[in-house]
Amino acid sequence: MSLKLNFLAATVLAAAALATSAGASTNLVDNGDFSGGYSDFHSDYGALVPTTPPATYSIGTNPSGAHPSWADFGDHTTGFGNMMIVNGAEAAGAIVWGQANITVDAQTTYFFSTWIATTFADAPAELNFSINGANLDSTFTAGAISAGWQQFFASWNSGEATSADIALVNQNLAFNGNDFALDDISLTTQAPGGIPEPASWALMILGFGATGAALRRRRMAAAAA
């Protein structure tokens, strides 16, 4: 292979590496999968095992271990790790989960995601997610137990902000039911699915195009010889 083709091939490989790197965007939420237990987040709910009174939560591997009436299932991450297991509050405005002072870049689009599962059939939770006091999308109603883990996903542009305060509030105030689990909370610059950012796509397409053109010229030269 000629020096030019070697260079073009290296360009394509570098672009592919950039795209892969973009797809692995760093999660700015600490302990988003709760593998660190009760650390790195705040809550207006009380930490309690068993999690039987309203406005309490626990970190565990199975809802049935936190409350005898709750469903039996594993976490979203691996099926064996931790999740946040929540007994909904009867008082309005209580923050279920929050993380403050997350450093972000101004004028940047971020993607917030979390996974939610209902642990008791009655009165599914109605969850509002916000960043810096502004709601992300509409209220998310948790599904039936049979629906399993469901994703809440929304984009957020930082505007002039250089820090983000994320909060989750449950709008359902029912005593009976209103129980759920959270897992894999994330804030990243990359949408789920690992789609490369436009700059990475442009470089990759340019590299493939240049390589293809060089190969065509090489074949034409060989045919004319």
Band of residue 216 on the pLDDT scale cut at 50, 70, 90 = low
Distance CA(67)–CA(134), nearest Å, equals: 33
pLDDT recorded at residue 82: 98
Mean pLDDT rounded to a whole number for the chain = 85
pLDDT recorded at residue 122: 96
Tell me, what amino acid is at 175?
Answer: F
Burial of 101 (0-12, 13-18, 19+ CB in 10 A): exposed
Better pLDDT: 50 or 16: 50
Evaluate the CA torsion angle 132, 55, 154, 98 in order and state its sign.
positive
Q: What is the pLDDT of residues 176-205, one digit of tens each?
A: 999 999 999 999 999 876 544 444 444 444
User: Is pLDDT at 115 greater than 60 in this prediction?
Assistant: yes
Q: From its phi and psi, is residue 31 left (phi > 0), alpha (psi between -120 and 50) or beta?
A: left
**Considering only 3-7, 40-44, 77-81, 116-120, which range has the smallest mean pLDDT?**
3-7
pLDDT recorded at residue 167: 98
Band of residue 223 on the pLDDT scale cut at 50, 70, 90 = low
Look at residues 168, 142, 136 and name the one whose alpha carbon lies nearest to residue 155: 136
DSSP E strands: which ranges in the chain? 46-47, 56-60, 83-87, 95-103, 109-118, 126-131, 134-135, 140-141, 150-157, 163-170, 179-188
pLDDT recorded at residue 124: 97
Better pLDDT: 149 or 200: 149
pLDDT recorded at residue 161: 98
Band of residue 25 on the pLDDT scale cut at 50, 70, 90 = confident
Look at residues 88, 102, 95 and name the one whose alpha carbon lies nearest to residue 129: 95
Q: What is the pLDDT of residues 45-93, one digit of tens each?
A: 999 999 999 999 999 999 999 999 999 999 999 999 999 999 999 999 9
pTM of the model: 0.77
Beta bridge partners of 179: 87
Distance CA(97)–CA(103), nearest Å, equals: 18
Band of residue 23 on the pLDDT scale cut at 50, 70, 90 = very low
Q: What is the pLDDT of residues 134-145, one digit of tens each?
A: 999 999 999 999
Distance CA(27)–CA(17), nearest Å, equals: 19
Quickly tell me which residue has 């406005």 as its tokens: 55
